[in-house]
Amino acid sequence: MATLPQYDAAPSRPLSRGDIKVLSLSALGGALEFYDFIIFVYFATVIGALFFPPEMPEWLRMVQTYGIFAAGYLARPLGGIIMAHFGDLLGRKRMFTLSIFLMSVPTLLIGCLPTYATIGYAAPLLLVLMRILQGAAVGGEVPGAWVFVTEHVSRKDVGLACGTLASGLVAGILIGSIISAFFKSYYSAEEMSAYGWRVPFLIGGVFGFLAVYLRRYLEETPVFAEMRAKKALSDGLPVKRVLASHLDSVALSMGVTWILTGAVVVVLLLTPSMLKSLYAIDASYANVWAIVCTVFGSIAAGWCADRLGSGVTLILWSLLLGVAYWVMMHSVPQDPSQLLWSYCLAGFGVGIVGVVPTIAVKSFPAAVRFSGLSFSYNVAYAIFGGFTPVVVSTLMISHPAAPAYYIAALALLGVLIGLFLLWAPGGRRLSVMPS
C-alpha cells in the first residue's frame, strides 16, 4: 500500500495579520489572473467573427475559435513544469509574481490585436500565441499560489488557506461572467464588434499589472527560506525526482484534480448551455448564484479539512456534489422552478475545489512540492479539462442525464480517495488535523 510523505509547514500557531495579508493578496491575484484566462470564452462569438475569414462557415469558425481557447489548456503543463522547476530552485515568490505578469501582458495585447480585416491570417496566429502565453502563465499560477500560501500559514490552517485561494479563483470566473453580461447589455452588437470586446481584455491587463505591484509586498515562504538556508533544495531536475520517487503522490493529485475539473467544467461552465439546448431553460441567473455559492463552499470545505481531516471532508463534499447535481438534473427538466435552489446547492458542492489542493499540496515533500503539484495538476487538467466537454456531450446523445452520471462517477471517485486518505499508511497524516 502506498505511503505518502509527511507534510512540511510552519508549526501550529494562530493565524497572523501577515497570514491574512498573504491570503488576501494571493486570492485577489488569483481572481484577476483567472478572469484574464477565462474572459476569452465569454466573447468567443465576437472574436470568431473578427479573427477568421467572413466566408468561413459559422460552425468551422466557432470550432477554430474554441480550438484557440483550448490552446491555453494545452500550454499549461509545459509552462507549469518550467515555472515550477525554477520555483523549487530559485524561490516561490519570484515565480508567483512572474506568473501573473506573464498573464497580464498577453491579456492586454489581445485587447490591442489587429483583426483579420487588417492583417489577414496573421491575426488568428497572433491570437494563438497570446493564448499559449496565457496558458503557460496560469499553469504556473495555480499550483504556485497553492504552494505559496500553504507554506506561509501554520499546518493547522493549510485547508483554510487552500479554500480561500480556491474561492478567489472561482471569483475570477464570477467576475468574468458579470463583466461579460454588463458589456453585452451596455454595447450594441455593432459597438461590441467595433471596439467593445477589447475593453474587458484591456481592463484585465491593467488590473493584472496592479496585482504584480501588490505582490511585491509579499515575502518568500518560510519553508523555502529554511530549505535554502540549510542547502536542502532539490538537486538536478525536480520533476525527474518527482517521477522517480513520488508516483503515488502524482496519482493521488491527478485523481483529485480530475474531480476538480469535472466539478468546475460540467457544473459551472457547461450546465447553462446544456439546459438551454436540451430544455430551453435559461440558467444564466441561477449560474451566477451557483458560482457565488461555490466561493463560500470552497472556504467552508477548506475550513472543515483543518478540523475534520481532508479524507472526511472529501467524502462529505463528494456526496453533496453528486447527490445535489443528480437531483438538479433530474428535477429541473420537469419543474424549472426548482432550478435556483438546486443549482445553488450543487454550486456549494463544487466547493470541493477547496479541499482538493489541500490534499495535493500535502502529498509532496517541500523540496519538490512545486514541481510535483504543477506536473500532476496541469497534466490532469489538460487531459480531463480538454476531454470532459467532448465525453459529456457525446454521452448526452444517447442519454440527456449523462452529465449527472458523470458527476456521480467522480463523486464515487472522491469517496474512494477519501477512504484511502483515512486508511492508507501516510495518507492518514493528510486526513487528520496536524498537531
Cα 245 to chain centroid distance, Å, stands at 26
Q: How far is it, in rounded angstroms, from Cα 47 to Cα 52?
A: 8
The partner residues of 380 in beta bridges, in order of sequence, read none
154: three-class secondary structure by DSSP: strand
Whole-prediction pTM value?
Answer: 0.83
Quickly count: other Cβ atoms within 10 Å of residue 64's Cβ: 16
Q: Which amino acid makes up residue 358? A: T
Tell me what percent of the chain is helix, strand and coil, each rounded to the nearest 5.
80, 0, 20
**Confidence (pLDDT) at 101:** 85
**Confidence (pLDDT) at 347:** 97
97: three-class secondary structure by DSSP: helix
Any residues with CB less than 8 A from the CB of 121 and at least 6 apart, and which? none
Please give the DSSP secondary-structure letter assigned to residue 264.
I
Q: Which amino acid makes up residue 111? A: G
Q: To which residue does cell 485561494 refer?
A: 165
**Confidence (pLDDT) at 7:** 52
**Confidence (pLDDT) at 393:** 78
And the C-alpha cell for 350?
463544487
The answer to whether 133 and 82 are in contact (CB under 8 A) is: no
**Confidence (pLDDT) at 357:** 93
The answer to whether 176 and 185 are in contact (CB under 8 A) is: no
The answer to whether 257 and 356 are in contact (CB under 8 A) is: yes
- Each of the 435 residues of the chain gets a pLDDT tens digit; together they read 445 555 555 555 566 677 777 777 778 777 877 787 778 877 877 888 898 888 877 767 767 776 776 777 777 787 777 877 677 777 667 777 788 888 889 999 999 999 999 999 899 999 989 988 888 887 777 888 888 888 778 888 899 999 998 998 899 888 888 888 888 888 898 898 899 999 999 998 888 888 888 777 777 666 666 666 655 555 566 778 888 888 999 999 999 999 999 999 899 988 988 898 888 998 988 999 999 999 999 999 999 999 999 999 999 999 999 999 999 999 999 999 999 999 999 999 999 999 999 999 988 887 788 888 888 998 898 888 767 877 887 788 888 889 999 999 999 999 999 999 998 765 555 554 443
And the C-alpha cell for 174?
464570477
**Confidence (pLDDT) at 244:** 81
158: three-class secondary structure by DSSP: helix
